[in-house]
Structure 1
Amino acid sequence: MFFDFANVFIFIILGLLMTFVIITVSRLLAPRVSDVPDKFTTYECGERPVGSAWILFNFRFYAVALAFLIFDIELVLVFPCISVYDKWLKAGSGLFALIEITVFVGILFLGLIYMWNRGDLKWTKEVSEELEEGVVLEEEKPILF
Structure 2
Amino acid sequence: MSLLFSSMLALMIPAIVLILAWVLSYRTTSDREKSSPFECGFDPLGSARLPFSLRFFLLAVIFLIFDVEIVLLFPIISTLSMSASASALFGGILFLLILIIGLLHEWREGSLDWAK
Alignment TM class, shorter chain as reference: 0.5 to 0.7
In the alignment, the residues of structure 2 paired with residue 95 and residue 114 of structure 1 have an alpha-carbon distance, to the nearest angstrom, of: 28
Q: Where in structure 2 are there 5+ consecutive unaligned residues?
A: 1-32, 36-43
Larger helix proportion of the pair? 2
Counterpart of 1:58 (choices 53, 59, 75) is: 53
Structure 2 partner of 1:82: 77
Q: Name structure 1 gaps, 5 residues minimum.
A: 1-43, 126-145
Larger Rg: 1
Percent of pairs with identical residues:
43
Aligned residues: 77
Q: 1:113 aligns with which of 92, 96, 104?
A: 104
Three-state SS of the structure 2 residue aligned to 1:51 is: coil
* TM norm structure 2: 0.56
Once the two structures are superposed, what CA deviation does each residue of 1:78-99 show, in whole Å capped at 9, x if it has no partner?
112202213332xxxx121111
Query: What RMSD over aligned residues (CA atoms) do the two structures have, in Å?
Result: 2.3
Deviation digits for residues 89-123 of structure 1 (CA, Å, limit 9, x no counterpart): 2xxxx121111111112112111111111111112
Task: Measure the CA separation in 2 of the matches of 1:62 and 1:118.
Answer: 16
Distance 2:93 2:50 in 1: 41
